[in-house]
């Protein structure tokens, strides 16, 4: 095995950010400190959480507390029915070719009227407490809008952290693709809600995935977790409870739902504390 512990933080909008922070704080209160991970993989919402968690500037409690309170001053976005329909059409036309699906979604994103890229980058820059890559290994996922290929940004990739996180959070049809170098990127969740396969080679893996579902062309976190187990890793997959899903509401991009989602994550964490300790410790699961 090439590493010991890996923490995978999946995508799921602003409610996903809140819920993940609640889970992380709840587990920390129960004695399971996931900030010690040798590798953190962040996709979309998870890239925001991962960047802040590995910055060394916020404890799990502080990260959680940042999700609470009035969010009325923040812009509300929405993944509308028209955009969802274009995703479905791209999937139907791609048949069994996952890369073709990602290219079609990328093409849609490149022509969508989603506002200035620079303005969106400012939003993500303000959301992060540090704009420097951390010492601890952080991998941020995005998808090349033209080729459909996965890009795993890290401190060795030559890109800035803000650019990488902005690219990972560029929901097609909602936010503009992000330019990094000579290429443009869209949300890493287009490939997978968690991209947990990037934790391959690590002995102990915890996956926190706000979006549990997948499709034939977008593997579900559970499928990726199963493959990691087959390779010999101890793996815990945490997905939202029914109570948490209710707290999310119908719009994952609504900042007003981040607070209740965070509180739901904190409450749910108790259900997973023993399993998380068994995976994260050196003992047997």
Tokens (6 digits) for 2: 């090439």
Mean pLDDT in the chain? 94
pLDDT above 70 as % of the chain? 97
User: Tokens 């707290």 sit at which residue?
Assistant: 247
Mean pLDDT of 66-79: 82
The Cα 112–Cα 188 span in angstroms is 18
pLDDT, tens digit, for every residue of 172-205?
999 999 999 999 999 999 999 999 999 999 999 9
Q: What is the pTM of this model?
A: 0.95
Identify whether 187 is a catalytic site residue: yes
Q: Please indicate whether residue 261 or residue 84 has the higher confidence score (pLDDT).
A: 261
Tell me how far CA of residue 269 lies from CA of 27, 89, 170, 189, in angstroms: 6, 37, 28, 24
| Residue 3: predicted pLDDT | 63
pLDDT, tens digit, for every residue of 31-57?
999 999 999 999 999 999 999 999 999
Q: Catalytic residue among 55, 94, 144, 187, which? A: 187
Q: Which residues contact 90 (CB under 8 A, 6 or more apart)?
A: 101, 104, 105, 108
Q: Which residues contact 262 (CB under 8 A, 6 or more apart)?
A: 18, 19, 21, 22, 64, 67, 68
Between 27-31, 98-102, 132-136, 215-219, the lowest mean confidence (pLDDT) is in 215-219
220 within 8 A of 214, measured Cβ to Cβ: yes
pLDDT at 74 over 80: no
**Alpha helix ranges (H) inside the chain:** 13-29, 45-53, 60-65, 81-94, 98-111, 117-127, 161-168, 221-230, 242-248, 258-280
| Residue 283: predicted pLDDT | 46
Q: Count Cβ neighbours within 10 Å for each residue of 216-229 and write b for 16 or more, e otherwise.
A: ebbbbbbebbeebe
Neighbours of 270 (CB within 10 A): 12
pLDDT at 222 over 90: yes
pLDDT above 90 as % of the chain? 89
| Residue 33: predicted pLDDT | 95
pLDDT at 1 over 80: no
Tokens (6 digits) for 256: 């007003």
Q: Catalytic residue among 44, 55, 159, 168, which? A: 44
Confidence of residue 229 (pLDDT cuts 50, 70, 90): very high
38 within 8 A of 206, measured Cβ to Cβ: no
| Residue 285: predicted pLDDT | 37
| Residue 282: predicted pLDDT | 66
178-180 and 150-153 as β-strands: parallel, antiparallel, unpaired?
unpaired
The Cα 240–Cα 45 span in angstroms is 14
| Residue 80: predicted pLDDT | 85
Q: How far is CA 170 from the centre of its chain?
A: 12
22 within 8 A of 269, measured Cβ to Cβ: yes
The Cα 34–Cα 46 span in angstroms is 14
| Residue 75: predicted pLDDT | 77
């Amino acid at each position: 095995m090439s590493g010991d512990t890996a923490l995978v933080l999946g995508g799921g909008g602003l409610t996903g950010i809140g819920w993940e922070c609640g889970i992380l704080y709840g587990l920390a209160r129960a004695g399971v400190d996931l900030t010690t991970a040798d590798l953190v993989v962040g996709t979309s919402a998870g890239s925001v959480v991962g960047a802040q968690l590995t910055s060394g500037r916020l404890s799990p409690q502080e990260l959680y507390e940042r999700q609470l309170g009035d969010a009325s001053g923040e812009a509300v976005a929405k993944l509308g029915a028209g955009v969802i329909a274009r995703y479905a059409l791209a999937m139907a036309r791609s048949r069994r070719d996952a890369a073709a699906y990602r290219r079609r979604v990328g093409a849609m994103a490149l022509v969508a009227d989603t506002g200035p890229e620079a303005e969106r980058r400012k939003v993500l820059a303000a959301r992060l407490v540090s704009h420097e890559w951390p010492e601890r290994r952080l991998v941020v996922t995005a998808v090349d809008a033209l080729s459909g290929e996965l890009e795993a940004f890290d401190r060795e990739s030559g890109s800035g952290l803000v650019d990488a996180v902005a690219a990972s959070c560029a929901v097609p049809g909602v936010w503009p693709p992000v330019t990094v170098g000579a290429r443009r990127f869209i949300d890493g969740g287009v490939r997978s809600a968690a991209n947990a396969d990037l934790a391959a080679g690590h002995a102990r893996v915890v996956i926190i995935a706000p979006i549990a579902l997948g499709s034939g062309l977008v593997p579900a976190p559970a499928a990726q977790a199963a493959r990691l187990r087959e390779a010999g890793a101890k793996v815990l997959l945490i997905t939202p409870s029914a109570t948490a899903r209710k707290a999310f509401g119908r719009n994952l991009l609504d900042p007003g739902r981040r607070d209740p989602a965070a509180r739901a994550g904190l409450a749910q964490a108790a259900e997973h504390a023993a399993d998380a300790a068994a995976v994260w410790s050196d003992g047997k699961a």
